[in-house]
Chain A
């Protein structure tokens, strides 16, 4: 072994033409990564138009209004857009609070299970049950119990987002390398120290993979809640349901697009966060 071994420096793109400044290859990479999805987007819009004007006859065109109508009738309509942004704000608040609560409960649940076999045996079946019961069927019941406002929407959101956090945290905590456990045991580390200095950091990649999934689910949960309640202050779910009932299809499409973009933004944010926190030592692209 030689100490001149140069540490593996991150060199994402080594094929750099000699001479030109660093900005040029970087721009080329950016273009290369943006262009294909952009082309797909263009193709999808084209397909959309084709269906609107090619497949549907005029009476049924409301089923799929052309994209430009979505822009002009809904996006550029100030009252509509304002109403949607207010609704988005409500939905986002439910999603974030729900996700935060799910993180706290889910991690505590997983840590408790990781500390003793019998706790795991007693509690894990309920985590699985949570994943298996049709939460949508419970939604009206939750509405009856806790009214149709912020509280019950948040509860729905927590129920939907909880499982991936519980299961991924538990998996992460339990997948610590045996040699590292021996090392900690050998030097008399307490359970708490082992959790804090070994198990938790080691579980971070798995936890973040779970967080990303949970974040996407929390948005769905927040929308599903008021979509089903059909009452209380309108969030995106209620707006979607109203537009559907009144056949206001440009507005309906815009609401769906906004909801989707919000979900994507939250998902992307957690991907970025994971990369910031553990990307230094862990290849987050492996975690999916």
Chain B
């Protein structure tokens, strides 16, 4: 683990030093990526499509190897929320939430209790016996979130989880996520292509360039938690969003 150079902050849960990814066919997806996520950090990566944002998460989680640099991630307590809810359609909500605890071999009573708590946390109490096909898109995402919460993760990876949802649902889930983050204080690495979502959620916004993806600029977000939806309409929020957008445009050209 990296040394804790700024006291008062949480332990480092993800650290990328000069990480690069080149595919066998020669295309470079990522170059010189330095990133650090501590417990209590909510780091969001914005970038144009195809800049390798998702690859970043796949490397962090060990689903894909990187080809240069070092990636240090404590993967024992890792939550990963995919673009789709990736629920198993033949399992009920409760059984889906139990799945990852089940795969990690936790005893039945233990994972049942963990699943119940997680379902309560995402506000799906009463829907335990429903099947995924009976739920709306937003509710399915909540189930997916709850499934990762059963691991009590130190690090949460989010791969554009709300991209496919309508705006109202998306904003609600953003607020839910902020509430979860304020109470659980995990470290989060969140991928999105929405600047406003990035600024609204995070403690830090990382802007990436188009392929090959590299970090263009990093912004600290000064707003405290919990955040109110009205934050989006303050001048400070607009100013910061403007700066992030500008960096995104410059990185793209």
Enumerate chain A interface residues (CB-CB to B < 8 A).
1, 3, 5, 7-8, 177, 179-180, 182-189, 193, 197-198, 201-202, 204, 278, 280-282
A220 to chain B, nearest CB (A): 32
Cβ–Cβ contact A1 & B139, under 8 A: yes
Cβ–Cβ contact B86 & A180, under 8 A: yes
A268 to chain B, nearest CB (A): 24
How many Å lie between the Cα of A186 and that of B172 in the bound state?
Answer: 28
B10 near A: Cβ within 8 Å? no
Cβ–Cβ contact A187 & B89, under 8 A: no
How many chain B residues touch A (CB < 8 A): the figure is 36
B62 — which chain A residues lie within 8 A by C-beta?
186
How many Å lie between the Cα of A278 and that of B88 in the bound state?
Answer: 13
Known contacts: A1-B138, A186-B80, A187-B100. The answer to whether A7 contacts B86 by CB under 8 A is no
How many Å lie between the Cα of A189 and that of B173 in the bound state?
Answer: 29
B92 to chain A, nearest CB (A): 9
Q: Which among A5, A183, A197 is the interface contact of B139 at CB below 8 angstroms?
A: A5
B133 — which chain A residues lie within 8 A by C-beta?
8, 281
Known contacts: A1-B168, A278-B90, A281-B89. The answer to whether A7 contacts B134 by CB under 8 A is yes
How many Å lie between the Cα of A198 and that of B134 in the bound state?
Answer: 20
B183 near A: Cβ within 8 Å? no
How many Å lie between the Cα of A138 and that of B163 in the bound state?
Answer: 58
Cβ–Cβ contact B136 & A5, under 8 A: yes
Cβ–Cβ contact A179 & B82, under 8 A: yes
A180 — which chain B residues lie within 8 A by C-beta?
86, 88
List 19 other contacts, CB 8 Å, given A3-B139, A182-B86. Answer: A1-B136, A1-B137, A1-B138, A1-B172, A3-B123, A7-B134, A179-B83, A179-B86, A180-B86, A182-B80, A182-B82, A186-B63, A186-B80, A187-B100, A187-B104, A188-B104, A198-B88, A281-B89, A281-B90
B44 near A: Cβ within 8 Å? no
Known contacts: A1-B139, A1-B169, A1-B173. The answer to whether A184 contacts B103 by CB under 8 A is yes
How many Å lie between the Cα of A197 and that of B103 in the bound state?
Answer: 9
How many Å lie between the Cα of A116 and that of B106 in the bound state?
Answer: 29
Cβ–Cβ contact B63 & A185, under 8 A: yes
B90 — which chain A residues lie within 8 A by C-beta?
201-202, 204, 278, 280-282
Known contacts: A1-B172, A184-B103. The answer to whether A8 contacts B63 by CB under 8 A is no
A278 — which chain B residues lie within 8 A by C-beta?
90
A1 — which chain B residues lie within 8 A by C-beta?
136-139, 165, 168-169, 172-173
How many Å lie between the Cα of A183 and that of B87 in the bound state?
Answer: 10
| Most central of A8, A179, A278 by chain B CB within 10 Å | A179
A8 — which chain B residues lie within 8 A by C-beta?
133-134
Q: Which residue of B lies closest to A187 (CB)?
A: B103
B168 — which chain A residues lie within 8 A by C-beta?
1
How many Å lie between the Cα of A281 and that of B131 in the bound state?
Answer: 7
B84 near A: Cβ within 8 Å? yes
How many Å lie between the Cα of A246 and that of B124 in the bound state?
Answer: 72
Q: Which residue of B lies closest to A1 (CB)?
A: B138
B137 — which chain A residues lie within 8 A by C-beta?
1
Q: Which residue of B lies closest to A179 (CB)?
A: B86
Q: Which residue of B lies closest to A6 (CB)?
A: B134
Q: Which residue of B lies closest to A190 (CB)?
A: B103
Cβ–Cβ contact A182 & B63, under 8 A: yes
Q: Which residue of B lies closest to A10 (CB)?
A: B134
How many Å lie between the Cα of A185 and that of B78 in the bound state?
Answer: 13
How many Å lie between the Cα of A281 and that of B130 in the bound state?
Answer: 10
B203 near A: Cβ within 8 Å? no
How many Å lie between the Cα of A280 and that of B124 in the bound state?
Answer: 21
A189 to chain B, nearest CB (A): 5
A204 — which chain B residues lie within 8 A by C-beta?
90
Q: Which residue of A lies closest to B136 (CB)?
A: A5
Known contacts: A8-B134, A183-B80, A281-B131. The answer to whether A177 contacts B172 by CB under 8 A is no
Cβ–Cβ contact B123 & A189, under 8 A: no
A201 — which chain B residues lie within 8 A by C-beta?
88, 90
Known contacts: A184-B103, A187-B104. The answer to whether A177 contacts B63 by CB under 8 A is no
A20 to chain B, nearest CB (A): 29
B55 — which chain A residues lie within 8 A by C-beta?
none
How many Å lie between the Cα of A68 and that of B102 in the bound state?
Answer: 64
A281 — which chain B residues lie within 8 A by C-beta?
89-90, 131-133
Q: Which among A188, A189, A282 is the interface contact of B89 at CB below 8 angstroms?
A: A282
* Complex interface residues of chain B between 97 and 136 (CB less than 8 A to chain A): 99-100, 102-104, 123-124, 126-127, 130-136
B136 — which chain A residues lie within 8 A by C-beta?
1, 5
Could you list 16 A-B pairs, sorted by A, with CB under 8 Å?
A: A1-B138, A1-B168, A3-B139, A7-B135, A182-B80, A183-B100, A184-B103, A186-B61, A186-B80, A187-B100, A197-B102, A197-B103, A202-B88, A204-B90, A281-B90, A281-B133
B83 — which chain A residues lie within 8 A by C-beta?
179
A188 — which chain B residues lie within 8 A by C-beta?
103-104
